[in-house]
Structure 1
Amino acid sequence: MILAKVHTTPKQRDEFRLLVAIRFACLMALAKGHTDPMDCPRVQARCAELVKHFAYHHPSPAFYRQFIRHTGELGLNFSLRFTEPQQGLYGKVMVWRNDPQAVTNVHPLHIMMPTAPVGR
């Protein structure tokens, strides 16, 4: 995870600062009662700062591997995805909460057991 590594370049330090600001804004959004962090104006403002940063600076290889074209962890409870712009300067940032109780791709298995022996 990019938030847990030592950052050696100014580019990585800038990205780290922006990601920590987004993560903290997400934690504050949950504390204020938002179920979706993107509903909070503070999270939207921090994401806009990240989008503006990448409009004028290329991402570091570590950021590119973790967050661009796929979802990366932003702490234990949040995920972040940066979508590069198709045209123009500005991409798109999406942040959401990881809820371990709401797994969407697992379905319960119900086994039907007969109560009485069949055929007797």
Structure 2
Amino acid sequence: MPTRTADERRAEARRAYDAYLAECPARQLLDRIADKWVTLVLNALADGPRRYAELHRKIAGVSQKMLTQTLRALERDGLVSRTVTASVPVRVDYALTPLGVSLLPVVAAVKEWADGHIEEVAAARAAYDEG
């Protein structure tokens, strides 16, 4: 059996989608969906399509720039669709695609876990900070 170099092993691992490698496409996707704004946008769209202004009002603290960047990235990744309706003014709606809907249970579970465990985390932080 021929010996493989480290570069060859890394290349083979990339082909196998090893998320522990920085170059792995799956790692790049994990980076995207782990973003707090992505999680909040996906959860905000869970009940159906929303206009930009509705999303901006619902997600407290997100700047217009970050919301726009997040929506564009999600659209690029095929998780969110953008529908423009010709009217005065122009109406733009954002909705989850079937791919986005398939991710929703995962991000919803993370959000629910955070909502349900924030007091325990806050207590752990306080204990750590005192120690």
Fold match by TM threshold 0.5: no
Relative to the length of structure 2, the TM-score reads 0.30
Higher percent of residues as helix: 2
